[in-house]
Amino acid sequence: MKKLYIIGLTLLFPFLGMAQDFTITGQLKPRFEGRQGFKTLRPADENLDVPSNFVSQRSRLSFLYASKENKLRVGLSVQDVRTWGATKQLVIGDANNLGLHEAWAEILFTPEFSLKAGRQELVYDDARILGNVDWAQQGRSHDLALFKYENNFKLHAGIATNAAREGLYKSAFEVSNYKAMQFLWFNKKWEQLNLSVMLLNNGVEFSEVATPTPADLQTVYAQLYGSRLEYRNGTLAVNAAAYYQGGKNNLNQTLKAYNALGEVFLTVGKGVKVMVGTELLSGTDMDAEDGISRSFTPFYGTNHKFNGLMDYFYVGNHANSVGLADHYAGVSYKKDKFGANLRAHVFNSMGNIVTEATDYDKNLGTEIDLTAKYQLTKEVGFQAGYSVMSATESMEVLKGGDHTKLNHWGWAMIVIKPTFFTTKK
């Protein structure tokens, strides 16, 4: 952490004398995990079915400079992400642990209109389509230009174009990322309603040949259109969202897919809330023959917070698959510095699960997630959780492994967010 602090001060030292507002914050997030059936089913081979235990850690240092006089805001965030023990105790240098998470400047043309350019996090609405994936120690950030208008409503327009390197001629884009992306987000709030509309055009590089020349490379685009509505009235909260995807997917298949969500939260006692919800993500039948993909992809959202915490769906997996119907219910409790949440999920596929000889049931299994947190101080918090997944034979068809075994995962984390320096009063 000291290394990050020195680097950051060196980069931003010129700003210290003239800044109207300048803040240096940090984050240390060590997390222990014990995995046995996390993200996929436990293997049938007993010699391989051994739990994985490890501690990962994010060490992040962030700087924020803001000057109304100069109509400028600047943000920098550097971080080190590692697994405890992965680096020798006596080491000359680390390999790719230190990274630049954010580096952006925002030009304030008027109090309402600005341009934010550079590497930055994108978090919109419930983070289903665009989120920073804060659970992952590395997090997610984008390289793009973001035009923002914010007055009695908000209108954001983002434009990104990516390349693997500088070059004289076109070359293959070998980074696991979009080649180009544009989005438009509208948001309007009333006393009890919050409405958002999202339009997103996502371009990925594709080639029909295994070893393409630059002339073989093309960018195929998928479009997303949708809206989210939130209603709040005292003890009652209702969320609803619907999105449609068209165009072409990353395999250059015609895409016709949708996502729909509805959930209700009700406060039933002091600090106690109950909830129930359903999310549908369309999928493609395994025996489909029309060449059309009906598999919805939630693009660049914080997918860990949806569809169960064990990450069986849409967290680097389950793309171009049979989709998901997630029916869930839960109860949460919060008092002073303590909070706890219990949620149960029943998973079903949206598309048919079929092999050469068998047509399987759409029921995939049940997951139960229990989490708790305690905020010791403003800067120090503790979190922990335990999850179990009881899967069906249909899940085994999709994931492999042994569906008769109980899958479980436990974790405990310390989140420390110090403010090292600030000029704000």
As a whole number of angstroms, the distance between CA 303 and CA 200 comes to: 17
> Which pTM was predicted?
0.91
Percent of all residues in the chain with a pLDDT value above 70, rounded to a whole number: 95
Please give the structure tokens belonging to residue 419. 């403010």
Which DSSP state fits 364? Answer: E
Cα 324 to chain centroid distance, Å, stands at 18
Share the mean pLDDT of the chain. Answer: 93
Is the CB of residue 357 less than 8 Å from the CB of residue 342? no
Mean per-residue pLDDT, 342-347: 98
As a whole number of angstroms, the distance between CA 286 and CA 52 comes to: 32
Mean per-residue pLDDT, 374-378: 97
pLDDT in tens, 250-267: 999 999 999 999 999 999
Please give the structure tokens belonging to residue 50. 């051994």
Please state whether beta strands 292-293 and 254-255 pair in parallel, antiparallel, or not at all (unpaired): parallel
Is the CB of residue 138 less than 8 Å from the CB of residue 110? no
Q: How far apart are the first and last CA of the chain?
A: 26
pLDDT value, residue 167: 87
pLDDT band at 18 (very low <50, low <70, confident <90, very high): low
Q: Whose structure tokens read 């997610």?
A: 140
Q: Where are the beta strands (DSSP E) in 46-97?
A: 52-67, 72-83
As a whole number of angstroms, the distance between CA 370 and CA 185 comes to: 34
Mean per-residue pLDDT, 8-17: 52
Torsional sign, CA 299, 295, 125, 180: positive
pLDDT value, residue 20: 81
Please give the structure tokens belonging to residue 297. 């992809």
Mean per-residue pLDDT, 279-290: 96
Q: What angle do CA 296, 302, 305 make, to 5 degrees?
A: 95
As a whole number of angstroms, the distance between CA 317 and CA 368 comes to: 20
Among 82-91, 117-126, 132-141, 362-371, which is the least confidently predicted range? 82-91
CATH number for the domain whose boundaries are 31-51+65-83+97-412: 2.40.160.100
pLDDT in tens, 294-323: 999 999 999 999 999 999 999 999 999 999
Please state whether beta strands 338-348 and 272-281 pair in parallel, antiparallel, or not at all (unpaired): unpaired
pLDDT value, residue 291: 93
Please give the structure tokens belonging to residue 421. 């320096």
Please give the structure tokens belonging to residue 425. 């009063």
pLDDT at 166 over 50: yes
pLDDT in tens, 129-143: 999 999 999 999 999
pLDDT at 19 over 50: no
